[in-house]
Amino acid sequence: MKKKETVFVCSNCGNEFGKWMGQCSACGEWNSLKEVKSIKLKGESRNNLRRDFLGQREVKKVREIETKNEEFINIISTKIKEFDRVLGKGIVQGSVTLFAGEPGIGKSTLLTQLVGKVGGLYIAGEESAEQIAIRVRRLGLKAENFDIFESNSVEEIEEYLNRVNNLYKIVVVDSIQVVGCENVNGVIGSVSQIRESTFRLVQLAKRLKVAMFIVGHVTKDGDIAGPKLLEHMVDTVLYFEREKNGELRILRANKNRFGPTDEVGIFKMDEKGLSDVRSEDLNLTGGDENKIGSAVTVLMEGTRPVMVEIQALIVESFAPMPRRVFAGVDFNRGQLLTAIGQKSLGMPLYKYDVFISVTGGIKVDDTGADLAILAAMWSSYKEKPLQNPPALRAPSLENGGQKQESPVFVGEVSLLGEVRKVKFWEKRKKEAEAMGRKVVEIKNVKEIK
Ligand code: TYD
Ligand code: MG
């Protein structure tokens, strides 16, 4: 007998409740309960399958378990440089990856490119096989090893993959919001469906040793039944996001059982799909001329150095309380650097407005930019472009001299004005050198003068 009822589901932990509460009593999250219509199948356990599965379990002894030497774990390259970088080395056989992101960000595009390059099965729940075929051809991908299975049913997927056993190394399910299981409550896309479908797909992938990518949509407000619920079930969680200035797409690993979580992959989207962004494209400095109020630094995006320009504007203030406006720099850090600038560099900033911005819409959360922020402030205050110290200057040419490149400033500044080296120092230095710039090495901010 079917009985319609409403349940309240926590969008953070997925627990269900009979009544609404301001705070989830299971995970403690506030305002996370959302109302969901559900159809309860009376007398039938939602977890039948889980029980059956548990029934077959046996205790294993470590010495009886054959393990592969780590080097022999099968890793498949995605043939997409930035994708491999985020995963570690590549795709681990039998691993399950949740591929999450807002609708329209490019999840289907990137995974189509993956299957097109490596070969595999694309389970299409949202788009028709024809739509995907059009995309495969338009992106100029190989069509030979690209199979498409249109389905919204976990049972169908299980049946097909069991039948073709080991035919595919890679399977993409696009998306988890549109597949469901027959004997589970709720409509497709509901929390219980998403949870059970994921659980069963993970079991399937492990048993068949296929690498599976499960697409999950997230909405801006972290809507219900989002990938948050599934993170603990899978090996790897990748988030595909838009960088603040909107041009670039960033792939991040939120969880990674087989690799790092601090790497990012950077892509850009054009009519040819998503392409790797090279280091040179990441140079977010506005040219290499020395400008007043501008200083260049090297920030870290994950473990990758990115060169950016910091601009400062120091103007006499007519307000009783001088203004401090920091775009891309943490307000407290900005305040602190302003105070250091006053004390160590002798700028009377108490009567000046201070504006700081970072080019490219990048947000600085790296103390390595301290020195560059102070240098930009100094340059604006003195109305002089920053110069390399004599030792780092390019040799002048006879007739009028060669254009001098602006120096690169990297370092954390202490309250006393001492400059400290920051992590990835060598990497940042190499990046600057690769761009034909030199990192200024000083021990105290006073040396900027
Ligand atoms: P899509 O991969 O469908 O997003 P998702 O699966 O995350 O919802 O990509 C959506 C956007 O990408 C769409 O607005 C069109 C754009 N796009 C391109 O600009 N170039 C391309 O080659 C492709 C395939 C898509
Ligand atoms: Mg899609």
**Rounded distance from Cα 308 to ligand 1 centre (Å):** 28
Q: Which atom of ligand 1 is nearest to the CA of 111?
A: 2
Query: Would you say 226 and 11 are in contact if contact means Cβ atoms under 8 Å apart?
Result: yes
**Rounded distance from Cα 102 to ligand 1 centre (Å):** 11
**pLDDT for position 287:** 63
Top mean pLDDT of 60-64, 108-112, 218-222 is at 108-112
Give 377-422 pLDDT, tens digit per residue: 999 999 999 887 766 665 554 444 455 667 899 999 999 999 999 9
Categorize the per-residue pLDDT at 245 as very low, low, confident or very high, splitting at 50, 70 and 90.
Answer: low
**pLDDT for position 2:** 46
Q: Residue 226 pLDDT > 70, yes or no? A: no
Q: Which atom of ligand 1 is nearest to the CA of 112?
A: 2
When mean pLDDT is compared across 61-65, 286-290, 387-391, 400-404, the lowest value belongs to: 400-404
Q: Which ligand is nearest to the CA of 126?
A: 2
- Cα–Cα distance for residue pair 17/33, rounded to 1 Å: 9
Token output for 260: 């790092």
Half-sphere exposure (Cβ direction) of 122: Cα atoms closer than 13 Å: 29
**pLDDT for position 411:** 96
Token output for 51: 């029980």
Give 246-280 pLDDT, tens digit per residue: 667 889 898 999 888 877 888 988 888 998 876 66
- Beta strand 120-124 with 170-174 is parallel
Take atom 11 of ligand 1 and give the residue whose Cα is closest: 104
Please give the backbone phi and psi of residue 68, each rounded to the nearest 5 degrees, phi first.
-90, 140
- Cβ neighbours of 331 (radius 10 Å): 10
Categorize the per-residue pLDDT at 375 as very low, low, confident or very high, splitting at 50, 70 and 90.
Answer: very high
**Rounded distance from Cα 233 to ligand 2 centre (Å):** 22
Helix, strand or coil, per DSSP, at residue 195? helix
Q: Residue 53 pLDDT > 50, yes or no? A: no
Give 161-182 pLDDT, tens digit per residue: 999 988 999 999 999 999 999 9
How far are the Cα atoms of 59, 74, 94, 107, 172 from residue 64, in angstroms, in the given order? 11, 21, 21, 41, 33
- Cβ neighbours of 41 (radius 10 Å): 14
Q: Which atom of ligand 1 is nearest to the CA of 105?
A: 7
**Rounded distance from Cα 272 to ligand 1 centre (Å):** 10
Take atom 9 of ligand 1 and give the residue whose Cα is closest: 106
Take atom 23 of ligand 1 and give the residue whose Cα is closest: 273
Categorize the per-residue pLDDT at 43 as very low, low, confident or very high, splitting at 50, 70 and 90.
Answer: very low
Mutate to test the pocket of ligand 1, among 109, 177, 239, 240 (most ligand atoms within 8 A of CB): 109
Q: Which atom of ligand 1 is nearest to the CA of 109?
A: 2
Take atom 15 of ligand 1 and give the residue whose Cα is closest: 104
Tell the burial category of 442 from Cβ atoms under 10 Å away from its Cβ (0-12, 13-18, 19+): middle
The type of residue at 78 is T
Take atom 16 of ligand 1 and give the residue whose Cα is closest: 106
Take atom 10 of ligand 1 and give the residue whose Cα is closest: 104
Q: Residue 47 pLDDT > 60, yes or no? A: no
Q: Which ligand is nearest to the CA of 111?
A: 1
Stated pTM of the model: 0.69
Categorize the per-residue pLDDT at 29 as very low, low, confident or very high, splitting at 50, 70 and 90.
Answer: confident
Hey, CA dihedral for 4, 228, 115, 138, is it positive or negative?
positive
Please give the backbone phi and psi of residue 85, each rounded to the nearest 5 degrees, phi first.
-60, -40
**pLDDT for position 118:** 95
Token output for 87: 């995963």
Token output for 220: 């801006």
- Helix, strand, coil percentages in the chain from 3-state DSSP, rounded to 5: 30, 30, 40
Protein residues with CB under 6 Å of any ligand 1 atom: 101, 103-109, 135, 139, 269, 271-273
**Rounded distance from Cα 270 to ligand 1 centre (Å):** 9
**pLDDT for position 173:** 97
Q: Residue 207 pLDDT > 80, yes or no? A: yes
Q: Which residues pair with 7 in a beta bridge?
A: 36
Query: Would you say 322 and 354 are in contact if contact means Cβ atoms under 8 Å apart?
Result: yes
Give 105-155 pLDDT, tens digit per residue: 999 999 999 999 999 999 999 999 999 999 999 999 988 889 999 999 999
Secondary structure E strands in 285-385: 294-301, 304-316, 324-327, 352-358
Residues 349-374, mean pLDDT to the nearest whole number? 91
Long-range (24+ apart) CB contacts under 8 A made by 277-283 are: 277/82, 277/248, 279/304, 279/431, 279/434, 280/435, 282/306, 282/307, 283/307, 283/435
H helical segments located in 228-315? none
Q: Which atom of ligand 1 is nearest to the CA of 175?
A: 6
**Rounded distance from Cα 250 to ligand 1 centre (Å):** 14
**pLDDT for position 4:** 53
Q: What does the CA dihedral 51, 56, 60, 66 come to, rounded to 10 degrees?
A: -110
* pLDDT, greater one: 359 or 137: 137
How far are the Cα atoms of 243, 308, 320 from residue 361, in angstroms, in the given order? 8, 10, 30
The type of residue at 325 is V
Q: Residue 18 pLDDT > 80, yes or no? A: yes
Q: Which atom of ligand 1 is nearest to the CA of 107?
A: 7
**Rounded distance from Cα 172 to ligand 1 centre (Å):** 16
- Cα–Cα distance for residue pair 302/447, rounded to 1 Å: 30
- Cα–Cα distance for residue pair 312/292, rounded to 1 Å: 9
Give 97-106 pLDDT, tens digit per residue: 999 998 889 9
- Beta strand 412-413 with 352-358 is unpaired
Q: Which atom of ligand 1 is nearest to the CA of 110?
A: 2
H helical segments located in 64-151? 81-87, 107-118, 129-138
Q: Which residues pair with 445 in a beta bridge?
A: none
Mutate to test the pocket of ligand 1, among 215, 218, 269 (most ligand atoms within 8 A of CB): 269
Q: Residue 71 pLDDT > 70, yes or no? A: no
Q: Which ligand is nearest to the CA of 175?
A: 2
